[in-house]
Amino acid sequence: MTQKQLNGVTIDIDDDGYMTNHAQWNRDVAAALAKELDIELTDGHWRVLDFIDKDFKEKGVVPGMRRMNKIGGIPTKDLYSLFPDGPIKKAAKVAGYPKPVSCV
Amino acid sequence: MKKLLILGAGTSGTMMANRLRKKLPADEWAIAIIDQYPKHYYQPGFLFMPFGIYSEKDVIKPKQKFIPPKVYYIESEIDRIEPDRNRVLLRSGKQFDYDVLILATGVKTAPDQVEGMRGDDWRRRVFDFYTFEGALALHNALRDWNGGKLVVHISEMPIKCPVAPLEFAFLADWWLTERGLRNKTEISYVTPLSGAFTKPIASKVLAHLLEEKGIKVVTDFNVARINNEQHKLVSWDEKEVGYDLLVTVPTNMGDPAIERSGLGDELNLVPTNRHTLQSKQHQNIFVIGDATDLPSSKAGSVAHFESEVLAENIVHYIKGEPLESQFDGHANCFIESGYHKAFLLDFNYDLQPVPGKYPLPFIGPFSLLRETRMNDLGKLAFKWVYWNLLLKGVPMPGVGHHMSRLGKQIPTEAIQPA
All structural domains of chain A with their residue ranges: 2-94
Dihedral (Cα; B107, B113, B117, B119), 10-degree rounding:
120
User: At which of B203, B232, B252 does a domain end?
Assistant: B252
Tell me the pairing of strands B71-75 and B252-254: unpaired
Selected for mutation to probe chain A from B235, B252, B259, B266 (highest A CB count within 10 Å) is B266
How sure is the predictor about A103, in pLDDT bands with cuts at 50, 70 and 90? very low
Determine the distance in angstroms separating the CA of B260 from the nearest CA of chain A, rounded to an integer: 15
One domain for residues B315 and B349: no
pLDDT attached to residue A86: 86
- In a domain, residue B238? The reply is yes
One domain for residues B115 and B246: yes
pLDDT attached to residue B418: 47
One domain for residues B115 and B173: yes
Give yes or no for residue B413 having a pLDDT over 90: no
One domain for residues B289 and B397: no
pLDDT attached to residue A102: 61
d(CA B164, CA B343): 12
Give yes or no for residue B215 having a pLDDT over 60: yes
Interchain CB contacts (distance < 8 Å): A and B? 39
Q: Are the Cβ atoms of A102 and B236 closer than 8 angstroms? A: no
User: At which of B297, B319, B341 does a domain end?
Assistant: B319
Number of domains into which chain B is organized = 3
pLDDT attached to residue B417: 58
Is B109 near chain A, with CB under 8 Å?
no
What mean pLDDT value characterizes chain B? 95
pLDDT attached to residue B198: 80
> What average pLDDT score do residues B198-203 get?
88
Q: Which residues of B touch A84 (CB under 8 A)?
A: 237
One domain for residues B150 and B183: yes
Q: Please state the ipTM of this predicted complex.
A: 0.87
pLDDT attached to residue B337: 96
One domain for residues B160 and B120: yes
Give yes or no for residue B30 having a pLDDT over 90: yes
CA distances from B28 to A102, B18, B31, B69, B200 (A): 44, 16, 10, 16, 49
- In a domain, residue B220? The reply is yes
> What average pLDDT score do residues B108-122 get?
98
DSSP SS3 for B57: helix
One domain for residues B102 and B200: no
One domain for residues B156 and B30: no
- What is the tens place of the pLDDT at every residue in B41-96? 999 999 999 999 999 999 999 999 999 999 999 999 999 999 999 999 999 999 99
User: At which of B204, B223, B252 does a domain end?
Assistant: B252
- What is the tens place of the pLDDT at every residue in A14-61? 999 999 999 999 999 999 999 999 999 999 999 999 999 999 999 888
Query: Is-contact B17 B31, C-beta < 8 A?
Result: yes
- What is the tens place of the pLDDT at every residue in B234-256? 999 999 999 999 999 999 999 99
- In a domain, residue B210? The reply is yes
Query: Is-contact B352 B346, C-beta < 8 A?
Result: no
Is A86 near chain B, with CB under 8 Å?
yes
- In a domain, residue B327? The reply is no
d(CA B410, CA B404): 12
One domain for residues B159 and B238: yes
Among residues A1, A23, A101, A103, the one annotated as catalytic is A103
- Taking alpha carbons only, the member of B206, B236, B199 closest to residue B414 is B199
pLDDT attached to residue A104: 43
| Parent domain of B355 | 332-414
Task: Indicate left, alpha or beta for B391 from its phi (over 0: left) and psi (-120 to 50: alpha).
Answer: alpha
Query: Is-contact B67 B31, C-beta < 8 A?
Result: no
Chain A's closest residue to B293, CA to CA, is: A104
Chain B's closest residue to A81, CA to CA, is: B237
One domain for residues B199 and B119: yes
- What is the tens place of the pLDDT at every residue in B127-181? 999 999 999 999 999 999 999 999 999 999 999 999 999 999 999 999 999 999 9
Give yes or no for residue B31 having a pLDDT over 90: yes
One domain for residues B337 and B374: yes
Q: Domain with B140 in it: what CATH number?
A: 3.50.50.60
